[in-house]
Amino acid sequence: MISVVLLGTGNVSTHLLAAFNAAQNVQVVQVYGRSKAALQRMAKDVPYTSNLNELMEAAVYVLAISDDQIADVANQIGNKNALLVHTSGTQPLSVLKKHSRRGIFYPLQTFSPGMQLNFNKIPMCLEVANHKDRPLLEDLARAISQKVYFMDSLKRKKIHLAAVFVNNFTNHLYHLGEDICNRNELPFDMLHPLIEETAKKIKSMRPIEAQTGPARRNDQQTIKQQESQLAEIPLELYTLFTASIKKTYE
């Protein structure tokens, strides 16, 4: 049984608590958060505290808090003979430098309130400062996911960068698509099957092979006609995407 103190009351922490609670060999012994209301909502069957001096003993402390708070919170935690990890895709291991047994426990997924997630398939990107901590962190990750990857901070930065493209930027394209629909009194859910299929395709063919559309065909007539319909920022994106797709297939 791996005992865990979970720090944070946001989306990542809430989803991790559910996953740890569902795992057989993990016990979350305490949740820490600044907001009592958030703690009460989240930690129904688990002791909680808003005082970093009252943290219970555990094998692993998981800091699932926003990037800009990690160093501050880590520095306030007293020295413990335990592994301290954060869940950020971008923050280096060194933000936890006060603690000799430190690591990364980064779930590569987008977390939103109320969305059910199958943690089992979420890639867990792990790193430890001390190789002796590797089995412990691996066991904790395998308790909730089948996809466990050890990688250094440089590679983690790269996978996070790739994630920004396929998640954050893709979602913004969905927003721009919805915006075009709204302006023209078309229901956005008309685009749902297309969005779903576009995402599904990558499982059976590479994106470079799945590419279709006016830019792929270099269909100048359609490109010009579509450019004429767009406002400034979507137009810049349209033009840049068109150039980037053309260049990819040159």
Smallest gap from Cβ 107 to a second copy, in A, equals 10
Consecutive H or E run containing 13: helix 11-22
Give the one residue of 24, 37, 45, 233 binding a second copy; rule: CB under 8 A: 233
From CA 116, how far away is CA 118, in angstroms rounded? Answer: 7
Phi (first) and psi of residue 220, to 5 degrees? -60, -35
In the numeric block, the tokens 């840049």 are attached to 240
Which of these segments, 1-9, 29-37, 76-84, 233-241, binds a second copy (CB under 8 A)?
Answer: 233-241
Give the one residue of 29, 52, 93, 245 binding a second copy; rule: CB under 8 A: 245
Phi (first) and psi of residue 47, to 5 degrees? -60, 150
From CA 7, how far away is CA 5, in angstroms rounded? Answer: 7
Which of these segments, 20-28, 29-37, 51-59, 158-166, binds a second copy (CB under 8 A)?
Answer: 158-166
> Contacts with a second copy in 195-214 (CB under 8 A)?
195-208, 210-214
Taking CB under 8 A as the rule, does residue 170 contact a second copy? yes
Q: Is the dihedral of CA 218, 220, 222, 225 positive or negative?
A: positive
Binding mask 6-45 for a second copy (x = CB under 8 A): ----------------------------------------
Taking CB under 8 A as the rule, does residue 224 contact a second copy? no
